[in-house]
Structure 1
């Protein structure tokens, strides 16, 4: 990494919450434990593609934490401050955490003179269970709103401009950002959005279906969800996922995720609404996104066919909706295929180009035979493109291996 020295905070607690309760700001701005904590979760289903995370963090429900990476030089009078990019991680609403070393924004902050915030939120049943008398649902989405409020109130201390915030996220994180466009409580908290491989057709469900899955989960759990041990919750979550696959034949949709019509989401998700000002959106997908996922009974065909169905077609339709709503929209397709990787331009392969370090991504199968210097050379160009968009909403000429998509 080259560029100015950077400061990366330890995990910072942006909110607290009781199990199945709405998040609230902490009583005092105390840091989290030095190691930080991740929401209780199973191993990622993409470990074979990405490799498991090299930093092993304790699991705890006290997981509403974020990390801030910023240039170390913070003049006392910096007005209006540096552009802020807030990262929402993927993981199918069941795994991941913003504080993982994969999501270290050091290179992005150092090279591009920006502030990077990486956010964790509640996952699985802890974040998205809908069950009468137990959980009102969409708690992970409420967590994300609370994190945006924290940034608004505190990011100036790190040299960031709370009036120039871009959300960027991948997979479930990108879908979250798309949904935040419709959340009234998020209006005015961000200006721009970057959606990386958002599974628009696979990650949300109607309330009646979510209620049914909540009852299935409760039956598998066999005890009060409000007091059950986390390991027992994860076991019931796995059995619920298996039953959902058996019922639907769908191997892609997680059992727990955002629910339409449950606070803070309105009953309809379109046309999109936006923060104040003219909205600006950069969206795209990877040419071989679906190589990361096995075929299922209702998802057959070549990788190209499945990628077109799950990512290209829904995202292309979203572009039309965004433009009709008055947004300035830029599209891309990533065709970067690391030599020696059996996965090609797969799901998640762009993340090392934006975030993380050589150590964090060491031995990642999706990077094939490339050494870090080769990865970083491509990443430097992509980081510059993302930061340019965050500064003023202009995508400009996208660097190879990104293919610009015309409207």
Structure 2
């Protein structure tokens, strides 16, 4: 299909109804298509034939609190741009405006981060338009239930892992319908950052995902927080029981903080109170996870990595508290040790375990873009490298003293690598010229 940019919109006539696409910056953006329905604390249900819904004016999101922290570091949120939906199962498709080949396009499914608590698939700071236009891939951005609605449960009345079930329904929708948009349903790569990366790692060992995706790019997943959460989750779940029938969803999300477990009692993992929960569908028990990743290693090509100074995002940007008055050398030491324990070491263990199962896996690290950057290669610094919207990122405190031209140049190299991995499952040395990226293939124990 050769779509001429003569009008601002284009209508796709699909098997599930007519869908409107917008011509924007050299791409077609098909906004906010519903992929499933849900009721509170119920499993999502797929759509019936012709049961389509598309929201064009605002972005639907799971009810959540605004984060002054993220407003300050990344981008200020305008609440008027969003609609709180307790059933937020929507996705947005971004594809090249003009198809230059008869071949179907590789599909990358974006699973956003936000500590399983905030965010949505379609934010300006994760707009994939530049990436899609450059690399001629399709990016599908998925929203799903968060917080109390999606990642805290423990009974049949309030099941755990509902957000994971939402993502699985999105993947089923993509399998059934992406060919309507020239996507290749047999070449699906999941790409997620932070909790989105953690979700992808756990989808790899979830029930009911067979054949739904083929590759995974796992960026800055806090896998160090996945261990021994059961008691903390159970306490948090029980204390928030009084909110389960609250009609006002915004009151729900503004009230649960008073029930958060204490820091001293459960340690650093309290900073991410919502998470996937082992021992509840669709997941295995925690002690079975490593062996199951090893067993599934032949199913998925994997690219996994982190940034060199991940926790500077939190440690060096606090406005007040424990870290505020510490000397920089001590702050740097805290950043290094916590980055290693929460991100680097768990990713290395994951990669080596996966390689021992015969899996095709590469491990990478992103370093700082500027010696003048106070936060270095912190958590989220990878996002503007991939989602290179200068307008969205222009006021980000994370990019202070970093040249946008240099960031864009280095990002272009990484965007090419990631897209080629999505197409082929391989990392080509000829493309690997980035000054800030170190990457290597992990071999099994016999050859290490």
TM-score, length-normalised on structure 2? 0.82
Aligned-partner Cα distance in 2 for 1:235–1:186: 34
Contact 2:95 2:138 in 1 (8 A): yes
Q: State the partner residue of 2:446.
A: none
Alignment-derived partner of residue 403 in structure 1: 438
Per the TM alignment, residue 273 of structure 1 is displaced from its structure 2 partner at its CA by: 6.0
2:297 touches 2:355 (CA, 8 Å); kept in 1? no
Deviates more, 1:388-397 or 1:66-75: 66-75
In the other structure, the counterpart of 2:86 is 61
**1:71 aligns to 2:96 (yes or no):** yes
Q: 1:49 aligns with which of 67, 70, 73?
A: 73
For residue 357 of structure 1, the aligned residue among 377, 389, 396 is 389
Name the CA distance, whole Å, in 2 between partners of 1:321 and 1:164: 24
Residue in 2 that maps onto 1:258:
276
Distance 1:251 1:128, change over 3 A: closer
User: Using the alignment, how far apart are the partners of 2:224 and 2:275 within structure 1?
Assistant: 12
User: How far apart are 1:382 and its partner, in Å?
Assistant: 1.0
Deviation of the 1:339 alpha carbon: 5.8
The counterpart of 1:385, out of the listed 417, 425, 445, is: 417
The match for 1:95 among 115, 118, 139 is: 118
Separation (CA, whole Å) in 1 of partners of 2:129 and 2:441: 32
Between the aligned partners of 2:252 and 2:359, the Cα distance in structure 1 is: 41
3-state SS of 1:145 partner = helix
> Structure 1 residues 168, 379: CA separation in 2 closer, same or farther (over 3 Å shift)?
same
Q: Secondary structure at the match of 1:135?
A: coil
Report the TM-score, using the length of structure 1 for normalisation.
0.90
Unaligned runs of 5+ in 2: 1-23, 323-330, 443-448
Q: CA deviation at 1:369?
A: 3.2
* 1:22-52 residue CA offsets vs partner (Å, 9 max, x unmatched): 1112331221353121111122344433233
| Residue 276 of structure 1: how far off its partner (Å) | 9.6
Asked which structure has the greater RCO (Cα within 8 Å, sep 6+), the reply is: 1
Q: Equivalent residue for 1:329?
A: 361
Deviation, 1:250, is 2.3
Deviation at 1:209, TM superposition (A): 3.9
1:270 paired residue among 287, 290, 300: 290
**Residue in 2 that maps onto 1:317:** 349
Match of 2:314 among 293, 296, 306: 293
CA contact (8 A) 2:298 2:357 kept: no
Maintained 8 Å contact 2:89/2:145: yes
Please state how far the C-alpha of 1:400 moved relative to its aligned partner: 2.0
Report the Cα distance in structure 2 between the residues aligned to 1:208 and 1:372, rounded to whole angstroms.
45
| Partner residue in 1 for 2:159 | 136
2:132 counterpart SS class: helix
Distance 1:209 1:136 in 2: 16
What do residues 71-122 of structure 1 show as CA deviations (whole Å, max 9, x unaligned)?
Answer: 12248x944x111111111100001100112221111111111100111111
Task: Tell me what 2:52 maps to.
Answer: 29
Kindly indicate whether residue 212 of structure 2 is the aligned counterpart of residue 189 of structure 1. yes
Residue matched to 2:184: 161
Distance 1:216 1:383 in 2: 44
Give yes or no for contact 2:246–2:252 (8 Å, CA) kept in 1: no
Please give the alpha-carbon distance, in whole angstroms, between the structure 2 residues aligned to 1:275 and 1:210: 27
- Count of aligned positions: 397
Q: Distance in 1 between matches of 2:35 and 2:384?
A: 26
3-state SS of paired residue (2:345) = helix
Task: State the match for 2:63 in structure 1.
Answer: 40
Counterpart Cα distance in 2 of 1:309 and 1:90: 19
Cα–Cα, structure 1 residues 274 and 382, in superposed 2: closer, same or farther, change >3 Å?
farther
Residues 269 and 277 of structure 1: is their aligned pair in 2 closer, same or farther, counting only changes over 3 Å?
Answer: closer
Counterpart Cα distance in 1 of 2:357 and 2:123: 36
Q: Which residue of 1 aligns with 2:9?
A: none
Q: Which residue, 359, 368, 372 being the options, matches 2:400?
A: 368
SS of the residue 1:154 aligns to: helix
Between 32-41 and 156-165, report the one with greater CA deviation.
Answer: 32-41
**Corresponding residue for 1:5?**
26
Cα deviation, residue 236, structure 1: 2.9
Of the two, which has the highest radius of gyration? 2
Cα distance between partner residues in 2 of 1:4 and 1:47: 25
Query: Distance between the aligned counterparts of 1:62 and 1:278, measured in 2?
Result: 31
Distance 1:141 1:184 in 2: 11
Of 279, 304, 307, 2:300 maps to 279
Q: Distance in 1 between matches of 2:78 and 2:303?
A: 30
Residue 270 of structure 1 and its aligned partner are, at CA, apart by 2.0
Please provide the CA RMSD for this pair: 2.6
Give me the whole-angstrom Cα distance separating, in 2, the residues matched to 1:363 and 1:54.
Answer: 14
Shift of 1:278: 4.8
